[in-house]
Structure 1
Amino acid sequence: MDTRSNRPTLDALRHLPVGEVIALPPEHLALLQSDAREALDAAKRTLDWIEGAIALRYEQRAVGARAAAGKDTGIVRFEDGTVEVAVELPKRVEWDQRRLAALVEQIRAGGEDPGEYVELTFKVSERAYAAWPERIRGAFEPARMVRTGKPSYRLTILNDVALRDSPHGPGIRPAIGGPR
């Protein structure tokens, strides 16, 4: 029996206790995960389309409002009928790292503490770190902290050939209706 046809819908899934979701056959979980990703992608495309239309509709009015307010960045507001439109143009500041390093040295040479003016941050490329000689890596090791992110799980329904060739051992077959 094909267990794919009697799986819950995404809408029904929202109302199931997590214990029931955990107990679903792995094929159902894989298909539901795929459905959810497709729905999310479709929603993102729709949102992008709507936001693009909004930007086209109000771009010139926002430019005018920004000019009238004498602002290069930040939030400007105007009304369109009964709707207030708030348009934010964020400020993104980037600093030339070499020039900052030279300025820090000038401040230090002048007898002042550069820490009063700038925050210093050091970065080490993980690729470069891996290529360093062992003695250099050893010196830096106490300063290195590895943090993990949120794990992600992607379920894929394997066909018979993929199951046969799986590195997890021969003879593994999908369990329909739960573990054997």
Structure 2
Amino acid sequence: MKKLLIISMFIIILTACGSPSPEEELASAEQQREELGEMLQTESVALERNRERLEILENEISQVETSQNDEDVQAYMAIVEEYSSSLISELESLGTLIEEARQTEELSEVQDDIEIIIQDIEETIDTYEEEVIEIELNETLMRRHNSLQLAHEAFPAALAHIKNGAEDDNMDGVEEGVSALNGISEFY
């Protein structure tokens, strides 16, 4: 009798641990199909957006190539090249300092350096704005310039978060500023 009870319990346990029923497998497969469909749709939208951006860039490149001999275009390209290299350098330095502060957990040690870099970034933006005023921009260059101006409008708030966070020894404030800086990249 004991053996029969043990065998019965063993069979019940095996049955309970068995593979899912065909209905459960079908429901699971349907759910996975829906999730994959949603992912595909999201990726399709992103792909279409990137195609549109690529078409815009191709048109801009085409227009720039047709006007490469234009002195204003060449001057603007030189200004943007100087601006972007200076901005990249300053942002990389700022990133290095913030990473150092994350690791040491001491914002006070890099506070002065952060303020100097922020001033340099502001000067880079001001220099760009001053130099571009002297150039007659065609339609393509004007779109690029307007896009950069939108970025320039967003920079002060992001830099203020970083500066205030460093002054208050508040890494959360600095992180807010870094996040805002990362958001500015959509204008470039």
> TM class by shorter-chain length?
under 0.3
Say which structure, 1 or 2, has more relative contact order (CA 8 Å, 6+ apart): 1
Q: TM-score w.r.t. structure 1 length?
A: 0.26
Q: TM-score w.r.t. structure 2 length?
A: 0.25
Identify, as 1 or 2, the structure richer in helix. 2
Identify, as 1 or 2, the structure richer in strand. 1
